């Protein structure tokens, strides 16, 4: 998104809270450590609130510099955080990107906060203060409006995108051993466990490559051993962003099995990453994946019925050559339609309207 703003001609000054926190907070295994007990979860909440105050003070000091008088503050919402209002008070338009109802998600799909009530209080206040909210799907837009009584006209849908330029031309040649890959944080709602179950049952000798860490890492390793497929499942741990294209080139098909007890409103970043790399995708059914499948992309969708993922794996194995050919041929279409540059065009028009320059 930062690169897309710069390509539009904007002068961008990044302010990243994560740059100010100890490396141990986002090092390998950090999330598992911080959620290992109720006391640690409560401690993580206290740290969030401390950094909320600290970050707002840092930003206020930065804005005292005469040259720092921004017209737009673009913030990606994080649990219990709020920076945009600091810039809003100086006359900037505050745009808040929301990828999920975090107060609900963080107490349903993962234990990231000790109090849904406190998280909801901060979330409601922040979303109501922003000048414009960016939701990543229509379903999320509806959920935000319903949960917090926000006028739908204050919410614009801008789906997640991808930096397509980081990926080279994909090969349409299948690997000797059919290989499916997953890239991302290993939360339970990613349903990688269901993928391993389906691979065990499959008549196709799938190999699985998993790039990422998270709370489910150890359990998935044990599951692979229990299923007797550990020789076919490779756990790579966290992969540096610069190494993602190389990782995706080692798999034939990618897995995006997102599910959520908080409601299906995903526009997963990794889905676009897979397509930009010219890789077919086996994906759970939701608003975005249904549309991509209907539009002819190499996306095979499975529903919630028993055996649906098994059927999708079998179909992908049968159609592998054609799926790879479609995915490779569609790299240009992904870059044109789903790049961050393409995504922000309607957003910039809306901001211009809010600032009276339309």
- List pLDDT tens digits, range 143-201: 999 999 999 999 999 988 888 778 889 999 999 999 999 999 998 889 999 999 999 99
Instruction: Please tell me what DSSP assigns to residue 113.
Output: -
Nearest to 74 by CA among 355, 349, 348: 348
Residue pair 99/125 in contact (Cβ under 8 Å)? The answer is no
Place of tokens 């930009």: 276
- At 105 the pLDDT is 80
The angle at the Cα of 6, spanning 159 to 23, to the nearest 5 degrees, equals 80
pLDDT in tens, 248-261: 999 999 999 988 65
DSSP state of 63: H
Per-residue pLDDT tens digits for 97-125: 998 899 888 877 667 888 889 999 999 99
Global pTM value: 0.78
The structure tokens listed for 41 are: 């979860």
pLDDT > 80? residue 28:
no
- In the block, residue with structure tokens 């540096």: 240
Do residues 226 and 251 touch, judged by C-beta distance below 8 A?
no
Q: At how many degrees (to 10) do helices 320-329 and 308-318 cross?
A: 80
The torsion of the CA quartet 23, 29, 32, 37, rounded to 10 degrees, works out to: -70
**Structure token pair of residue 16:** 């990243």
Q: Is residue 90 exposed (0-12), middle (13-18) or buried (19+ Cβ within 10 Å)?
A: middle
The structure tokens 């007890």 sit at 261
Those residues with Cβ within 8 angstroms of residue 121's Cβ, 6 or more apart along the chain or in another chain:
none
> In this structure, are strands 155-157 and 132-135 parallel, antiparallel, or unpaired?
parallel
Q: Which residues of 241-261 are buried (b: 16+ CB within 10 A; e: fewer)?
A: eeebeebbbebbbbbbbbbbe
195-233: per-residue pLDDT in tens?
999 999 999 999 999 999 998 999 999 999 999 999 999
Go through the domains of the chain in sequence order and give each one's CATH number: 2-161+339-354 (3.40.50.2000), 164-338 (3.40.50.2000)
Longest dimension (CA), the chain: 66
Q: Do 327 and 271 touch, CB atoms closer than 8 A? A: no
**% of residues, the chain, pLDDT over 70:** 91
Q: What's the average model confidence in pLDDT over 268-275?
A: 87
Q: Which helix (H) or strand (E) holds 272?
A: helix 269-276
3-state secondary structure of 99: coil
- Which tens digits make up the pLDDT trace of 272-309? 899 999 999 999 998 889 999 999 999 999 999 999 99
């Amino acid at each position: 998104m930062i690169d897309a703003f710069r390509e539009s001609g904007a002068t961008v000054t990044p302010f990243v809270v994560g740059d100010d926190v100890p490396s141990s907070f986002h090092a390998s295994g950090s999330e598992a450590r911080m959620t290992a007990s109720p006391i640690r979860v409560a401690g993580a909440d206290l740290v969030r609130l401390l950094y909320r105050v600290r970050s707002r003070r840092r930003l206020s000091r930065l804005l005292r510099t005469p040259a720092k008088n921004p017209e737009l503050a673009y913030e990606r919402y994080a649990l219990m955080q709020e920076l945009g209002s600091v810039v809003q008070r100086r006359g900037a338009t505050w745009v808040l990107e929301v990828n999920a109802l975090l107060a609900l998600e963080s107490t349903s799909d993962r234990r990231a906060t000790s109090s849904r009530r406190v998280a909801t209080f901060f979330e409601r206040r922040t979303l109501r203060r922003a000048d414009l909210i960016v939701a990543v799907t229509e379903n999320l837009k509806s959920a935000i409006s319903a949960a917090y009584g926000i006028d739908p006209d204050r919410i614009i849908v801008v789906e997640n995108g991808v930096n397509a330029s980081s990926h080279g031309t994909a090969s349409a040649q299948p690997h000797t051993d059919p290989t499916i890959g997953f890239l991302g944080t290993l939360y339970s709602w990613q349903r990688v466990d269901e993928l391993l179950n389906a691979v065990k049952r499959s008549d196709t000798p799938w190999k699985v490559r998993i790039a990422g860490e998270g709370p489910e890492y150890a359990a998935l390793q044990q599951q692979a051993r229990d299923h007797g497929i550990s020789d076919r499942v490779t756990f790579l741990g966290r992969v540096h962003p610069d190494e993602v294209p190389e990782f995706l080139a080692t798999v034939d098909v990618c897995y995006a099995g997102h599910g959520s007890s908080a409601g299906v409103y995903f526009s997963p970043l990794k889905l676009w990453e897979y397509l930009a790399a010219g890789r077919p995708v086996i994906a759970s059914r939701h608003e975005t994946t249904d549309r991509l499948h209907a539009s002819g992309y190499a996306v095979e969708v499975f529903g919630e019925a028993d055996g649906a993922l098994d059927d999708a794996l079998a179909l992908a194995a049968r159609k592998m050559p054609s799926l790879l050919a479609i995915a490779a041929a569609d790299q240009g279409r992904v870059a044109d339609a789903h790049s961050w540059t393409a995504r922000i065009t309607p957003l910039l028009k809306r901001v211009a309207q809010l600032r009276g320059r339309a």
